[in-house]
Homo-oligomer: A and B are copies of this chain.
Amino acid sequence: MERRLLLLLPPLCLCWALSAGGAERSGPPNLLILLMDDMGWGDLGVFGEPSRETPNLDQMAAEGMLFPNFYTANPLCSPSRAALLTGRLPIRNGFYTTNAHARNAYTPQEIVGGIPGSELLLPELLKKAGYVSKIIGKWHLGHRPQFHPLKHGFDEWFGSPNCHFGPYDNKATPNIPVYRDREMIGRYYEDFKINLKTGEANLTQIYLQEALDFISRQQASHQPFFLYWAIDATHAPVYASKQFLGTSQRGLYGDAVREIDDSIGKILKSLQNLGISENTFVFFTSDNGAALISAPKQGGSNGRFLCGKQTTFEGGMREPAIAWWPGHIPAGHVSHQLGNVMDLFTTSLSLAGLQPPSDRQIDGIDLSPAILQGKLIDRPIFYYRGNEMMAVRLGLYKAHYWTWSNSWEQFSQGIDFCPGQNISGVTTHTQEEHTKLPLLFHLGRDPGEKYLISFSSYEYQEVMEQISPKVQLHKETMVPGEPQLNVCDKAVMNWAPPGCEKLGKCLEPPKSNPKKCFWPH
């Protein structure tokens, strides 16, 4: 290696002058976050899906900026979403478990906890700049009333508190409720149908209409808006509307992607038609890698990356990402900035003219210099699984301090987070500690994490000399929040959500019996 600054990104930096000029927009931009559920990096045509069935997202990238190096903060839904909305690692905001080492936890119906009241969420903060905020789709930060979106800064909500998947209408436990604002208006499978046999459900169309209505309404009101469009059609059980069923090369999963792509095309078009596209910052990404345990019929693609959801390999944590803001973001550019869903918190505040809270550690950085001026900001990416920092990325290098795909017990039952992939000593079925001698990979020439850099090489030594102090500082200064995902209790399920009386949909909860949640992954 001749070059000294191994960790620097290569000299393809795209620099341009911000062309915003003295455009006619006044006040801060609207903010629109399009968050996918279990959609993988490789699911977009622009990221190499062979079927290329995302013409609208590909067009969004052609008109905006593509981020091939964008990450989640945790390879599972709930902690990823908590990180996005707080700008903080789950280990800080409490969205993790200490019931066992390095286990991903989330918020099923039995979970007692949720987003702590002490956390400051993006919509709460945006209020200071006059924003009206709405969440459409999956919340997943706690389903008990004190955790609901409207208790945490959102003004409106249409969607569900938990994943639509459980309990599959099994009668023994309540079906997930769907809320409008503070009250439930029905339940999945009962009032909001998902045909598990055919995969037919018109939910994406409903979520689309909710978005179009909100945008149109807000445009008329002249208040800036924050819309968090957190749809879930690509989370198993995958679904699509009748008009999209059977239209993809990829089966039902592809049908769901096509419907989402079509919807996003309509949302962007509505911004243009309403004349507010130049005043609306839009960011598309996903909550975690594709769920390969559900592939190929119910799961997506992480391209050539290793493994999937639940793991801290690239397939579990690297996300598709596109920023779009006509007139502000130059069209067709690619940014190699290392980004994270937590940055959407800080960046959104920055675009709104607000400072992030100064009384707590914020992990998200302000990406506006990367997005608007093509700058590259040096920062590490930390890969957490539950309460453990498993890996870190710095520049093009990634060091694994712990490796684990999933347990032998689960693997032997056919649960495989890395189907068809097997990297000796890397995709381990026992939790392997490498803190003394981390496994190092170069993600530029080896995005698939297949080729270990030799421990005895000069490259290894030089790179680890740069990574180690950053990891040490991170660990030394880490003050974990109180874990919120340790206790489960069947009594807290959605038996009788607010509004159930009006619908005659209240169910009788069982007696409380709190116990430690079991997190297998």
Residues of A within 8 A of B (CB): 2-3, 9-12, 42, 45-53, 62, 66, 68-69, 246-251, 253-254, 295-297, 301, 303-304, 306, 334, 336, 396, 419-423, 442-448, 450-451
Contact = CB atoms under 8 A, between A and B. Distances in A.
A358 B99 CA distance: 74
9 contacts: A9-B249, A11-B247, A42-B48, A46-B46, A50-B68, A52-B68, A248-B444, A296-B450, A297-B445
A420 B445 CA distance: 15
B450 A420 contact: yes
Nearest to A49: B48
B12 A53 contact: yes
A424 B248 CA distance: 28
A315 to B, nearest CB: 10
Contacts of A443: 50
A246 B304 CA distance: 23
A444 B249 contact: yes
B423 A420 contact: yes
Contacts of A420: 306, 421-423, 448, 450
A306 B423 CA distance: 15
Contacts of A396: 249
Contact of A51 (B11, B419, B444, B448): B444
Given A303-B304, A420-B423, A447 B246 contact: no
**Residue among A53, A247, A422, A447 with max Cβ neighbours from chain B (10 Å):** A447
A451 B295 contact: yes
B422 A422 contact: yes
B296 A446 contact: yes
A444 B246 contact: no
Given A10-B248, A301-B304, A420-B422, A254 B50 contact: no
Contacts of A419: 450-451
Contact of A445 (B48, B251, B448): B251
A396 B296 CA distance: 14
Contact of A247 (B10, B69, B249, B296): B10
4 nearest interchain CB pairs?
A48-B48, A249-B444, A251-B445, A420-B450
Given A2-B246, A422-B420, A304 B445 contact: no
Contacts of A66: 52
Contacts of A448: 420
B48 A304 contact: yes
A312 B334 CA distance: 34
**Residue among A253, A304, A442 with max Cβ neighbours from chain B (10 Å):** A304
A307 to B, nearest CB: 11
Nearest to A427: B420
Nearest to A422: B422
B3 A246 contact: yes
Contacts of A450: 295-296, 419-420
Contacts of A336: 51, 249
Contacts of A11: 247
Contacts of A69: 50
A445 B422 CA distance: 21
A440 to B, nearest CB: 13
A157 to B, nearest CB: 34
Contact of A296 (B250, B254, B296, B445): B445
Contacts of A444: 51, 248-251, 254
A250 B254 CA distance: 31
A47 B45 CA distance: 8
A15 to B, nearest CB: 15
B301 A253 contact: no
A377 to B, nearest CB: 17
A132 to B, nearest CB: 37
A296 B451 CA distance: 7
**Residue among A45, A48, A450 with max Cβ neighbours from chain B (10 Å):** A48
A42 B306 CA distance: 15
Contacts of A301: 304, 447
A9 to B, nearest CB: 7
Nearest to A251: B445
A326 B178 CA distance: 52
A303 B51 CA distance: 13
A429 to B, nearest CB: 14
A428 to B, nearest CB: 14
A316 B378 CA distance: 38
A360 to B, nearest CB: 33
